[in-house]
Chain A
Amino acid sequence: SQKIEQNSEALNIQEGKTATLTCNYTNYSPAYLQWYRQDPGRGPVFLLLIRENEKEKRKERLKVTFDTTLKQSLFHITASQPADSATYLCAPLSASKIIFGSGTRLSIRP
């Protein structure tokens, strides 16, 4: 069955460092992959989308890579800030199905 794994349930990073979150998927080949941010008690908010033919996508301090050979996406936040603390969800997508990972909780300490 299709499966998504996001690295460790929680990640603690010192402010100013780069946070790197991992998303691995198995048993399917998504054409797109989306990343969302979720704050406690709130709905997920869309951040970035990357297509299978794109190696990398950037938006301000965010960068996403998509390696279809490794079946992996990496999500980077550079110059991290306490306000970046949240849970981040990856969502590999195929034409017929959207599947969400269970998320990585990121904490940025001052």
Chain B
Amino acid sequence: EAQVTQNPRYLITVTGKKLTVTCSQNMNHEYMSWYRQDPGLGLRQIYYSMNVEVTDKGDVPEGYKVSRKEKRNFPLILESPSPNQTSLYFCASSLYREGNSPLHFGNGTRLTVT
């Protein structure tokens, strides 16, 4: 089954403790992206990747890192999480970046930073 898989689904951590949220897709998609979703603010892009070893900042990249060493994986790293990073995070992929290529989303990771 074609899918985007994120882990974990839920994560509670403390300020400053490094964490990684994994994302994997099995559709051989070139484009992958991370979003955070907050009430009233919609989906905001954190980072995206056009292909292996090619990553770039989205609208809200501060406090996050990503890497794209393999085509299928695009982990999101929070080196020193803070409470304002408490949010619902989604990984998404599409065949290409162009606007006629629909995004496939994972089921989300709900992160709480205390």
Q: Which of A's residues lie within 8 Å of B, judged by CB?
A: 4, 30-32, 34, 36, 41-46, 49, 51, 89, 93-95, 98, 100-103
The answer to whether A46 touches B99, judged by C-beta atoms less than 8 angstroms apart, is no
The answer to whether A42 touches B43, judged by C-beta atoms less than 8 angstroms apart, is no
CA distance A95 to B35 in the complex (A): 18
Query: Smallest CB-CB separation from A51: which chain B residue?
Result: B100
The answer to whether A89 touches B42, judged by C-beta atoms less than 8 angstroms apart, is yes
The answer to whether B42 touches A46, judged by C-beta atoms less than 8 angstroms apart, is no
CA distance A51 to B98 in the complex (A): 12
The size of the chain B interface, using a CB distance under 8 A, is 20
- Residue B107, interface by CB 8 Å: yes
Query: Smallest CB-CB separation from B92: which chain A residue?
Result: A43
Q: Given A30-B99, A95-B99, is A100 in contact with B104 using a C-beta cutoff of 8 Å?
A: no
- Residue B105, interface by CB 8 Å: yes
Contacts of A4 in B (CB 8 A): 42
Nearest CB of A to B60, in Å: 13
The A-B contact count (CB < 8 A) is 49
The answer to whether A49 touches B98, judged by C-beta atoms less than 8 angstroms apart, is no
Query: Smallest CB-CB separation from B39: which chain A residue?
Result: A102
Nearest CB of B to A21, in Å: 15
The answer to whether A43 touches B99, judged by C-beta atoms less than 8 angstroms apart, is no
CA distance A66 to B98 in the complex (A): 18
The answer to whether A98 touches B103, judged by C-beta atoms less than 8 angstroms apart, is yes
The answer to whether B108 touches A46, judged by C-beta atoms less than 8 angstroms apart, is no
Contacts of A103 in B (CB 8 A): 42
Contacts of A31 in B (CB 8 A): 99
The answer to whether B43 touches A34, judged by C-beta atoms less than 8 angstroms apart, is no
Select A102's contact among B42, B90, B104, beta carbons within 8 Å: B42
Contacts of B102 in A (CB 8 A): 34, 46, 49
Nearest CB of A to B84, in Å: 19
Contacts of A43 in B (CB 8 A): 4, 90, 92, 105-108
The answer to whether A32 touches B106, judged by C-beta atoms less than 8 angstroms apart, is no
Contacts of B43 in A (CB 8 A): 44, 89, 100
CA distance A94 to B98 in the complex (A): 8
- Residue B41, interface by CB 8 Å: yes
